Amino acid sequence: MHLDMKMDCAVTIGFFDGVHRGHRFLLQQLEKAAAANDLSPVAVTFDRHPRSVINSGSPLSLLTTQEEKLSLLSEAFHGEVHVLPFTRELSALTAREFMQSVLREKLNARLLLMGYNHRFGHGGGSPEEYVAWGQETGIKVCLAEALHDEKVSSSRIRNLIGEGYIEAANAMLGYPFFMAGKVVGGKQIGRRIGFPTANISPPEQKLLPACGAYAVWVGMPDGTRRGGMLSIGHRPTIETDGGISIEVHILDFNGNLYGRTLRLEFIAKLREERNFTSLEALQQQLTQDAISTKALINKPA
């Protein structure tokens, strides 16, 4: 998104993975601070997670792809979003250098709202130091309020989802954790036992919940939404190669979705992954999963 470089602006900085309730509270404060100071609100984010550059050997699974993050930001924030390429050169800048060369000279920032417990710049700094550096560079530095004393963070949410605690993660996100993926070919085992599934190929770097069975909403290609039960795991009953698969059975639906994209919104975990002694035992469990899923999707909000 392009900025009008003539406009003085109020900025905040973050990677904003997930655009969770804490991020939204920060962005609301930025909008108010910008309006009070007759400035244009600007959220500064990055094209990749800083850890992927600083610790390039450790891949990081994220709550949102870059495209998903920018879409969520556009819904939550009434201002400009400026995406910076995060490079080794950028990571080497001290906070003061970043404030001078990027915020002040490139973006025309006059006010910086520091997120709760947020630090930036090589070597970091104390809140008092950020305020002092701001004075030196012509930027008023303000510290944002925390979200009602709740510790909502992207890393906490990633940990919850990675352990299968979907409902707790959704409460922190403020919306259901979701993923979108293309339907790819499978082995048709589900169809043989009355539970045809769509095999999903998720985006790279997208965080996968813990192995198990989940109740989900399925956003269909025609724009409708249906209940579904989703399995993430190694399919121990029918596979031996140990690869992870994602399969969703869409309730009361039977059609060809190959090559189409489905959006999966996670409601709750149903159970752990299990190794069944036969396909008949798996069929019985899937029947019970369908009952549990219908109860969850029909549950009053």
Q: What is the pLDDT of residue 117?
A: 79
Q: What is the pLDDT of residue 187?
A: 66
Residues annotated as catalytic (active site), given as ranges: 247
Best CA proximity match to 175, nearest among 70, 18, 66: 18
Q: What is the pLDDT of residue 100?
A: 96
Task: Tell how strand 40-46 and strand 178-184 pair up.
Answer: unpaired
Give the tens place of pLDDT for each residue, 13-26.
999 999 999 999 99
Residue ranges, the chain, pLDDT below 50 = 1-4
What are the tokens at 52?
């992927």
Phi, psi of 164 (to 5 degrees): 90, 10
Structural domains of the chain ordered from first start: 9-152 (3.40.50.620), 173-297 (2.40.30.30)
Q: What is the pLDDT of residue 3?
A: 46
Indicate the helix (H) or strand (E) that contains 25. Answer: helix 21-36
Tokens 């039977």 sit on residue: 254
The pTM score is 0.90
Q: In what order do the strands lie in the sheet with 109-114?
A: 80-84, 40-46, 9-13, 109-114, 140-143
Q: What is the pLDDT of residue 2?
A: 46
Q: What is the pLDDT of residue 176?
A: 98
Amino acid at 151: K
- Local structure of 55: helix, strand or coil: coil
Q: What is the pLDDT of residue 118?
A: 83
Q: How far apart are CA 220 and CA 261, in angstroms?
A: 8
**CA distances for 54 relative to 67, 85, 92, angstroms:** 22, 13, 10
Give the tens place of pLDDT for each residue, 189-228.
666 677 889 999 999 899 999 999 999 999 999 999 999 9
State the burial class of residue 162 (Cβ atoms within 10 Å of its Cβ: 0-12, 13-18, 19+).
middle
Tokens 């069975």 sit on residue: 213
Strand locations in 85-194 (E): 109-114, 140-143, 178-184
Tokens 């012509």 sit on residue: 138
Q: What is the pLDDT of residue 4?
A: 47
Helices and strands counted in the chain (H then E) = 10, 11
